Structure 1
Amino acid sequence: MLAIVVSRADEASVRIGEQLRAVADWTESVDEGRPDAAGGGTVYRTEGAELREFDGRHLELEGVGDVYDAPDLLVFASKHAGATDELLTAHHTGNFGVAEYGGESGQFARAAPNAHRAVVGALADHAPEGYEVGTECTHHGPTDVGVPSMFVEVGSAEPQWRDPAAARAVARAILDCRGVSPDAPDEGGHRRQLVGFGGGHYAPRFERVVRETDWAVGHIGADWCLDALEEWAGDASQYEAVIERAVAASGAEYALVTGDSPGLADRIESLGYRVVDERFVRETTGVPLELVEAFEAAVGPVEDGLRFGDAATDGADAWRVVDLPADLVAEATGIDAAAVRSWFEANALAFGTEQQGTVVTGPVVLAATDRSTVVDALADVLRQRYDSVEVADGELRAREERFDPDLADTLGIPEGPKYGKLSAGQSVEVNGREIEPETVQSERIRRFTL
């Protein structure tokens, strides 16, 4: 069940509440067991959601999840204040340093990464013309909510707080979270969730992750949050405890670190979490995390060049790693790198690369495809250059007839334009003689051991 918090102390929240009640059918009841100011009084319920109003400001409403009837997710309908014009945004709550705006110092509310990803998408779907959609770092309370939660906001000043179209967009996006799990699905003990470190307050890198990949993001410590985190640097155990709380409250085991934060990645990894980059997030999108883990163990990490083929998104019950002749792969790549890459992407589960993922090297992870099929594909590429290519007796032989300058010299053909014509397969005249290109060709055979 989705719990929705409306604060009467927040003008935008009140207007979002009005729109919430307008865009869905609600039943009303009276909770006489608690004060009206603390979520009692009139309670609004619709399918999958319960809305209550409070007199206090959102960031001061500690333990508010206990007021509702067993919610799975709680959303604070709120305003955003800042110099950002028309903006719809969402974020989680907590404090990397000293708590100045609600909550406790170095503590975090349980994030809802999967629901946050869903609501950012919903805000983009419903946003009125002229409004941007974004996400923010973790920067205020409450920290003791009692249920996974997030703020969903309209900003950034009075004209927007009073804009019924903006309030309606936020209301619809909030209601779209009904039935959405706070966390991404479990994938063999892993979840596609990150905790973020670095960047600006409005976290454009993490917004890209949320909107352009299938990964979700929990707590985000922007650069200024990391400065606040340094307040604990004199106490190593407390410094690491804050990091661990942020990761745990995000339901994450992966951390995406950006910017210049010396030593931070090492500290995170020392705590047993994996630090990844945006490339990892994009490359693993759509690939089951169980396969990612298995292929990295068998071939090498994504950061070192592991890439995934289209077939990996469908999963694989059985697979095997196949080594390929490095000279054969290199020769085919030199002839037509795009064709080589295209075949591996279309037919392999995964494959090794170099030069930041641009050059295929192998090994290759295959499902049902036989190794010979890979060799045949590379042979096809070689046929673009060689006159004949055959596979036999454990080797691939590529044969070509090439212009031989030594033969041309023995026939008295002067070096220069005539060389170029003969090399291009054209006959030339030398001292009244017609020289056919075949006359100055020699056979070259390249052998690749399979």
Structure 2
Amino acid sequence: MLAIAVSRADSASVHIGEQLRDAATWTEHADASRADAGGGGTVYRTEGAELREFEELHLRLDGVASAFGTVDDGPSREPELLAFASKHAGDTGELLTAHHTGNFGAADHGGADGELATAAPNAAAHALGALAEHAPDGYEAGLECTHHGPTGVGCPSLFVEVGSDEAQWADADAARAVARAILDLRGVDPTGERAVVGFGGGHYVPRYERIVRETDWCVGHIAADWCLSDLGDPATAAARGTVDAAFRESGATRALVEGDHPELVAVIEALGYRAVRETYLRETTGVPLATVERAESTLCPVEAGLRFGDRATGYEGPLATVDLPEALVAECEGIDTERTRAAVDERVVALETSENGTLVGGRALVPGDADRAATVRAELVGDLVGVLRERYDGVSLRADAVVARRTAFDPEKARTLGVPEGPAFGRLSAGETVEVNGRTITPDAVSSDEERRFPL
């Protein structure tokens, strides 16, 4: 069940609550076990959601999940996710946001020092998409770093907000957009399977928004640069505990670290987690993490050039290692880089690369066993022979090598015949006849047969 908390001390929250009740069919129930100010009294229920109102500001509502689920005249329902319908305040204009809660340092605005609420990374990703979908004209949708309380909610939670000043807090269209985005969270798995923690950057987090929008990773707790300042020396026991909590409460084992924070990275790794680059998140999108781990252990880490081919998407089966014909691949890349890479990618699960992932390396992983690997390699060699034929006059495939022949411009022959280097060389190389000191020089006169052998 989705629990929705409305604060009567927050005008924007009140307006969102009104739009929530207009946007769905609710039944009214009573909860006499709690005071009206603490979420008791009238309780609103609709399919998959329950709405309660509180007198306190949201950031003071520690343990609020315990207020949900029980009414006098209906079944008990355990909240799986809690959304705080709230305002966003700042000098940011028309903005709809979502964020998690907690304190990387002192609890100046609710919660406890150095404690973090249980995040809902997958729900936050859905909220970002829903806010963008429902946003009125002129409103942007975004995520924020983790900030303020509460820290002890009692279930995965997030704030979903309208901002950033009085005009927006009173905007019915903006309140309706936030209400619809909150209702869209019904039935959403709060955590998901692929969450990453963020460290570094600004309070507003466009990089993490891109990750959410463009990959299948979602983002849990985010510690902006100012949060890291509040955290202090990450090597202290208290700071290490907070860093560990960022992963635990996000259901994550990986972190994206913006900026230069070697001491923090050392702590992350000492705690048994992994600091990754954005490349890792993009390259592993769609690839089962078990397959990623096998590829990294067999070939090399993503940061060292591991890339994934077309067969990687969703693949969790057996893998066999293939030694690629490096000289042949390199020659084909010089002829048609895109065609060569496509020939490799369409057959492999993962491959080693160089030059920031642009050039094919020496080994790859293919689906299946050793026999299947030999077949895949033979098919790839056949494709590469086709690429060679774009440049060579004749190509033959032998048991141990590919042999390519061509008739090519011979600069030494041209010099012997008195052809000056420069435009004349270029014309002869292109198959044109030139005049040199009254003599006609044909391309045949300055060409030689060339044979290249590419071992298999």
TM-score (norm 1): 0.94
Per-residue CA distance 1:282-312 (angstroms, 9 max, x = gap): 1111111111111111111111111112221
Distance, in Å, in 2 between the alignment partners of 1:97 and 1:408 is: 76
The equivalent of 2:140 in structure 1 is 132
Instruction: Identify which range, 252-261 or 327-336, moves more after superposition.
Output: 327-336
Structural mapping, 1:194-273, within 5 Å: 194-230=196-232, 236-273=236-273
Partner in structure 1 of residue 118 of structure 2: 110
1:414 to 415, 419, 430: 419
Correspondence 1:85 to 2:93: yes
The match for 2:326 is 326
- Whether 1:180 aligns to 2:188 is yes
Further displaced range: 377-386 or 311-320: 311-320
Secondary structure in structure 1 of the residue aligned to 2:93: coil
Q: Distance in 1 between matches of 2:393 and 2:341?
A: 23
Deviation at 1:342, TM superposition (A): 2.5
SS in 2 for 1:314: coil
The aligned counterpart of 2:352 is 352
Distance 1:6 1:426 in 2: 81
Equivalent in the alignment of 1:392: 398
CA displacement, residues 55-85 of structure 1 (integer Å, 9 cap, x when unaligned): 1110111111111121110111001111001
Question: 2: CA distance between counterparts of 1:9 and 1:329?
Answer: 67
- Distance in 1 (alpha carbons) for counterparts of 2:298 and 2:329: 20
Identify if the C-alpha distance between structure 1 residues 374 and 18 changes in structure 2 by more than 3 Å, giving closer, same or farther: same
Which letter does structure 1 place at the counterpart of 2:125?
R
1:405 and 1:34 map into 2 onto residues whose CA distance is: 94
**Structure 2: unaligned runs, 5 residues or longer:** 70-77
1:160 to 157, 168, 172: 168
Q: Does 1:402 align with 2:404?
A: no
Between the aligned partners of 2:415 and 2:54, the Cα distance in structure 1 is: 96
Indicate conservation of the 8 Å contact 2:195/2:252, yes or no. Answer: yes
Go from structure 1 to structure 2 and tell me whether the alpha carbon gap of 1:40 and 1:383 turns closer, same or farther (over 3 Å shift).
Answer: same
**Matched residue of 2:336: which SS?**
helix
Q: Counterpart of 2:145 in 1: which secondary structure?
A: coil
Contact 2:16 2:176 in 1 (8 A): yes
SS of residue matched to 2:346: helix
Aligned residue for 2:12, secondary structure, equals helix
Corresponding residue for 2:308? 308
Equivalences, count: 441
Label 1:446 to 1:4 Cα distance change in 2 as closer, same or farther (>3 A): same
Question: How many angstroms does 1:4 deviate by?
Answer: 0.4
Task: Give the secondary-structure state (helix, strand or coil) at the position aligned to 1:155.
Answer: strand
Which residue identity lines up with residue 281 of structure 2 in the other structure?
A: V
2:82 alignment partner, one of 64, 74, 77: 74
Question: Distance between the aligned counterparts of 1:54 and 1:33, measured in 2?
Answer: 14
Q: Secondary structure at the match of 1:347?
A: coil
Q: Contact 1:330 / 1:361 at 8 angstroms: preserved in 2?
A: no
Q: Distance in 2 between matches of 1:241 and 1:183?
A: 21
> What's the secondary structure of 1:268's corresponding residue?
helix
In structure 1, the residue corresponding to 2:248 is in which secondary structure? helix
Q: Is the Cα–Cα contact under 8 Å of residues 95 and 140 in structure 1 kept in the other structure? A: yes
Q: Which range moves more in the overlay, 363-372 or 5-14?
A: 363-372
Alpha-carbon spacing, 1:409–1:97, altered in 2? closer, same or farther (3 Å): closer
Q: 1:337 to 1:30 in 2, by over 3 A?
A: same
Q: Distance between the aligned counterparts of 1:195 and 1:419, measured in 2?
A: 59
1:429 Cα deviation from its structure 2 partner: 6.0
Q: CA deviation at 1:159?
A: 0.6
Residue of structure 2 equivalent to 1:338 = 338
Q: Distance in 1 between matches of 2:295 and 2:355?
A: 19
- Worse overlay, 360-369 or 14-23: 360-369
Native 8 Å contact 1:319 1:366 kept in 2: yes
Structure 1 residues 244 and 440, CA, compared in 2 at 3 Å: closer, same or farther? same
- 2: CA distance, partners of 1:54 / 1:29: 16
Q: CA deviation at 1:432?
A: 7.6
How many angstroms apart in 1 are the aligned matches of 2:203 and 2:412? 69
Match of 1:280 in 2: 280
What is the identity, as a one-letter code, of the residue corresponding to 1:119? A
TM-score, normalization by structure 2: 0.92
> 1:188 maps to which residue?
none
Counterpart amino acid of residue 398 in structure 2: A
Structure 1's 71 and 387: CA in aligned 2 closer, same or farther, altered over 3 A?
same
Looking at structure 1, the residues matched to 386 and 449 of structure 2 have their Cα atoms a distance apart, in angstroms, of 20
Distance change >3 Å, CA 422–CA 180, structure 1 → 2: same
Q: Could you tell me how far apart the structure 1 residues matched to 2:376 and 2:310 are?
A: 17
Which residues of structure 1 form unaligned runs of 5+?
Answer: 185-190
Say whether 1:378 aligns with 2:384: yes
Contact 1:280 1:302 in 2 (8 A): yes
Letter in 2 for 1:160: Q
Cα distance, 1:256 vs structure 2:
0.6
Tell me the residue number matched to 1:187. Answer: none
Change (3 A) 1:428 1:19: closer
Go from structure 1 to structure 2 and tell me whether the alpha carbon gap of 1:438 and 1:108 turns closer, same or farther (over 3 Å shift).
same
Deviates more, 1:42-51 or 1:199-208: 199-208
Q: Provide the aligned C-alpha RMSD in A.
A: 1.8
Aligned partner of residue 408 in structure 2, secondary structure: strand
- Kept after mapping to 1: 8 A contact 2:288/2:316: no
Change (3 A) 1:40 1:334: same
Which amino acid counterpart does residue 199 of structure 2 have in structure 1? F
Distance change (3 Å), C-alpha of 1:406 and 1:207: closer
Rounded Cα–Cα distance in structure 2 between residues aligned with 1:73 and 1:126: 21
- 2:87–2:164: 8 Å Cα contact kept in structure 1? yes
